[in-house]
Structure 1
Amino acid sequence: MRALTWHGRHDVRVDTVPDPEIVNPRDAIIKVTSTAICGSDLHLYDAYIPTLRAGDVLGHEFMGEVVEVGAKSTLKKGQRVVVPFTISCGSCFFCEKQQFSACDNSNPAETADMSETLMGHPMGAAFGYAHLTGGYAGGQAEYVRVPYSDVGPLVVPDHLEDDKVLFLSDILPTGWQGAVNADIEEGDTIAVWGCGPVGLFAIQSAFALGAHRVIAIDHYPRRLELAKQMGAEILDYREVNVLEALNELTGGIGPDAVIDCVGMESHGLAIDNIVDTVKAHSFLGTDRPHALRQMIIACRKGGRVSIPGVYGGFVDKFPLGALMEKGLQVKSGQTHMQKWMKPLLKMIEEGKLDTTFFISHRAPLEQASEMYRHWHDEQNDYTKIVLKPDMALPKAEQRQSAAAIA
């Protein structure tokens, strides 16, 4: 089959790799009909996440048709399913508490040991996201083996096209959980850093959960315009002092809650971010948490900090004093996908959530490496890319692709 594979920093390729097979009775094989490039895939593209190996298949946002099932799978051939990016057994201590992303059984022992050394406890598993999270082949491929298929995949009705439900695989539940973790109360003012796909869904979710005002911070004009169209007030951090603007907009009090939809690769020319960038490129540091530092300073006393953005290591220059003295509450973590997918599907069916407004490009899987370059370098214009394994290449590119395979 054809799949997108990682070969090094800024080097991803569509290669021919072995077809997946059933290896456990709870497995299923999915023929991918739609898959997407996620913002956190750029952390892999930039080689910020350790333990990637040449040839690893990437991608954790995908859906498709069931084509083969193990003896203990509850799926049936021909069903359309959305697959959550996290892999969860459904029966361990954490899964029984609906903390599915913390599953204790899905990450194989040989890879769990690595993450335990780094994080203190083994990480849960995920598709297409390095060997710290299990080394599972991802969904930017023609076919995928799905472990624990009796727990993870959500069967979706045929009347909903792929684009409407694809993002149940990650970014919609992630934005929703980010808003839920902000403990939003009726009438709150919420500030969201980052207007990428997760940030846009967090904005939509915050309004759905009762926020009175949402203030969105970014620097890409197209993304800020999308946030504005959803009802958010917008701040371009290149044009304003964010802390001063937030104080002015909130009467000097600060936002009731802040949501970090940026994660480990903050942009900007603030002195702390410049130092972080130098440290990261000289292997003296990992994450660039400028946005997180800023939101802790901005949040009102007694407020809440929600962190759905991805971080991978240790940070310094952290405003722990502000966090403690202001009495801020912090909630973070990977998304507990199975907890949210079904109720969010119902909201999509009822027309309460818009899941397609920010899709900017659709392309064949064979163009995935090109799309990664665009996603990395042209984020103002490329707000979300959906890859279709069955989409035909233009004829000239078909000839080039056939010659390359030969």
Structure 2
Amino acid sequence: MRAVVWQGKEKVGVDEVPTPRLREPTDAIVQVTSTAVCGSDLHLYAALGPFMTQGDVIGHEAMGVVTEVGAQVEHIKPGDRVVIPFQIACGHCWMCDNGLHTQCETTQVREHGTGAALFGYSALYGQVPGGQAEYLRVPHADFGPIKVPDDDEPDERYLYLSDVLPTAWQAVQYAHIPAGGSVLVLGLGPIGQMSARIARHLGAETVLAADLVPERLAMAQRHGAHVLDLRDIDDLGAVVRDLTQGRGPDSVIDAVGMEAHGSPVAGAAQKVVGLLPDAVAAPLLKTAGLDRLAALYSAIHTVRRGGTISLSGVYGGTADPIPMLTAFDKQLTVRMGQANVRRWVDDLMPLVTDPADPLGVLDLRTHRLPLAEAPHAYEMFQKKLHGCIKVVLDPMA
């Protein structure tokens, strides 16, 4: 079958790889009909090379049709249309029972001290072949796959249940925006877009959304956010205080994370590390503090005293300098983490299936391309070319 594989720093290709087969009685095989490129995939593309092996199949946002199931898989069957959560969770360990599917004790990657295994996301998270492919083997399919209606709606109606929507929903839940309160969303990629929409849907009175890419700002504005163009702002804190009774927003959602290509200093550091042998580079990437922290600093600077910061953007280093004095002095609450997809599906499914499309899921994808054009898709997404906000790849084209 054809699949998108990692070939080296900032280089992916579409190669022939073995078609997956059932290995365990809890497995399923899914023929992928749509698979998206995520901002987190750019970390593999540009920064996490020391944890990648040439030929790794990447991608963690996928949906399709079940073709085969193991003997212990009962809630789905061949022919069902399903969305695959990006993390692999068993559904019955202590962590899963408590809604922390990203910390699943059955699939934790203890070798690297990380949480649940993820599809297509480096040795750090289990090196499980990903979903940017014609077929996907789904471990723990007795729990993970989300069955969706077999209707005439385009895949984009449901695809974002794999990652974008649960991540944005959790980001808003973790932000603890008071009823009628205010929130600032930093970064208007797919997660930021949906965070702003969900915050409005759940009752935030003031939704501020900051970015510097015109197409992203325009999309957020048409969904009701008060957009802030960072190209025209010298002091974001002063601007948002003027819009929030002089205090700052009740909550800030950081939907940026370690976007190295947007940070010259972090980008240069990661390039240096990328030149080192993997055995040397891997520990440095874990501990050297190479992340872009501008968004986090902005969150701490702009949120009101006693407010909440919700981190949904991925940070990778463990030695980053955090302004703890300011965070302590402002008595801030910070919540963070990868989304526990299955925890939020019951909240999201009625909104996704609503014909009125209250979250605007059909207004997120900007490009749909054949799987064969994945290298172009990655470059376009990384460089924000041609108004690219969300790319969906079609393995059947």
TM-score (normalised: structure 1): 0.90
Structure 2 residue corresponding to 1:180, chosen from 173, 182, 188? 173
Q: Which residue of 1 aligns with 2:110?
A: 112
RMSD (Å) for aligned C-alpha atoms: 1.5
- Sort the Cα spacing of 1:54 and 1:384 in 2 relative to 1 into closer, same or farther, 3 A: same
Q: Is the 8 A contact 1:35 1:59 kept in 2?
A: yes
DSSP 3-state at the match of 1:207: helix
Q: Does 1:135 align with 2:127?
A: yes
SS in 2 for 1:7: strand
- Out of 338, 357, 366, the residue aligned to residue 360 of structure 1 is 366
The residue identity in structure 2 corresponding to 1:200 is Q
1:387 corresponds to which residue? 393
SS at match of 1:235: strand
Q: Which amino acid aligns with 1:89?
A: C
Aligned to 1:401: none
How far does the alpha carbon of each residue in 1:303-342 deviate from its partner, in whole angstroms, 9 at most, with x for none?
0000011111124332111111111111100101001123
- Residue in 1 aligned with 2:293? 289
CA distance in 1 between partners of 2:386 and 2:327 (Å): 32
Contact 1:124-1:133 within 8 A present in 2 as well: yes
Which of 285, 298, 321 lines up with 2:325 in the alignment? 321
SS in 2 for 1:262: coil
Instruction: Name 2:237's counterpart in structure 1.
Output: 243
1:267 & 1:51 partners in 2: Cα distance? Answer: 19
* Aligned equivalent of 1:25: 25
Rounded Cα–Cα distance in structure 1 between residues aligned with 2:90 and 2:371: 30
1:205 equivalenced with 2:220 (yes/no):
no
> Is the CA contact (8 Å cut-off) linking 1:279 and 1:285 kept in structure 2?
no
1:343 to partner: Cα distance: 2.6
The within-5 A match list for 1:271-282 is 274-282=264-272
Q: Go from structure 1 to structure 2 and tell me whether the alpha carbon gap of 1:274 and 1:29 turns closer, same or farther (over 3 Å shift).
A: closer
Please list every run of 5 or more consecutive structure 2 residues that lacks an aligned counterpart in the other structure.
274-287
Alignment of 1:81-160 (within 5 A): 81-107=82-108, 111-114=109-112, 116=113, 122-159=114-151, 160=153
Kindly indicate whether the alpha-carbon contact (under 8 Å) linking 2:266 and 2:291 is maintained by their aligned counterparts in 1: yes
CA–CA distance in 2 between the matches of 1:379 and 1:322? 37
Q: How much does 1:199 deviate? A: 0.3
For these two proteins, the number of residue pairs brought into alignment is 378
Q: Which secondary structure does the structure 1 equivalent of 2:158 belong to?
A: helix
Distance 1:170-1:235 versus aligned 2 partners, 3 A rule:
same
User: SS of the residue aligned with 2:15?
Assistant: strand
Would you say the 8 A contact 1:30–1:65 is kept in 2? Answer: yes
SS in structure 1 at match of 2:348: helix
CA deviations over 1:380-405 (Å, ceiling 9, x no partner): 611111111111xxxxxxxxxxxxxx
Amino acid at match of 1:56: D
Amino acid of the structure 2 residue aligned with 1:112: R
Structure 2 residue matching 1:355: 3-state secondary structure = coil
CA distances 1:251-289 after superposition (whole Å, capped 9, x unpaired): 320110000000112676xxxx55444433333542111
CA contact under 8 A between 1:35 and 1:139: conserved in structure 2? yes
SS of the residue corresponding to residue 87 of structure 1 reads coil
Aligned-residue offset at 1:250: 1.7
Could you tell me how far apart the structure 1 residues matched to 2:39 and 2:28 are? 27
Task: Report what 2:352 is aligned to.
Answer: 348
Task: Tell me how far 1:172 sits from its aligned partner.
Answer: 0.9
Percent sequence identity is 43
Q: Which residue of 1 aligns with 2:73?
A: 73
> How big is the shift at 1:8?
1.0
* Structure 1 counterpart SS, 2:297: helix
In structure 2, C-alpha distance between the alignment counterparts of 1:372 and 1:17, rounded to whole Å:
20
Q: Secondary structure at the match of 1:86?
A: coil
Q: Give 1:48 deviation, angstroms.
A: 3.2
Q: Is the 8 A contact 1:84 1:168 kept in 2?
A: yes
**Offset, 1:235:** 1.1
Code of the residue aligned with 2:73 in structure 1: it is S
1:56 corresponds in structure 2 to 56
Corresponding residue of 2:382: 376
Name the SS for the 1:295 alignment partner.
helix
Q: Check the 8 A contact 2:93/2:106 in 1, yes or no.
A: yes
Indicate the SS of the match to 1:390.
coil
Equivalent residue for 1:257, pick from 251, 258, 275: 251
User: Structure 1 stretches of 5 or more lacking a match?
Assistant: 117-121, 392-406
Q: CA–CA distance in 2 between the matches of 1:46 and 1:101? A: 24
- Cα distance in structure 2, aligned partners of 1:93 and 1:331: 21
What's the CA shift for 1:353? 2.2
CA distance in 1, matches of 2:161, 2:38: 13
* Partner deviation per Cα, 1:122-161 (whole Å, 9 max, x = no partner): 3211100001111110000000000111111111111233
- Tell whether the 8 Å contact from 1:64 to 1:82 is kept in structure 2 after alignment: yes
Give me the whole-angstrom Cα distance separating, in 1, the residues matched to 2:348 and 2:159: 12
CA 275–31 in structure 1, closer or farther in 2 if over 3 Å, else same: closer
Q: Which amino acid aligns with 2:69?
A: V
Listed one character per residue, the Cα deviations across residues 104-131 of structure 1 (whole Å, up to 9, x for unaligned) are: 1114xxx5212x1xxxxx3211100001
C-alpha deviation, 1:369, in angstroms: 1.1
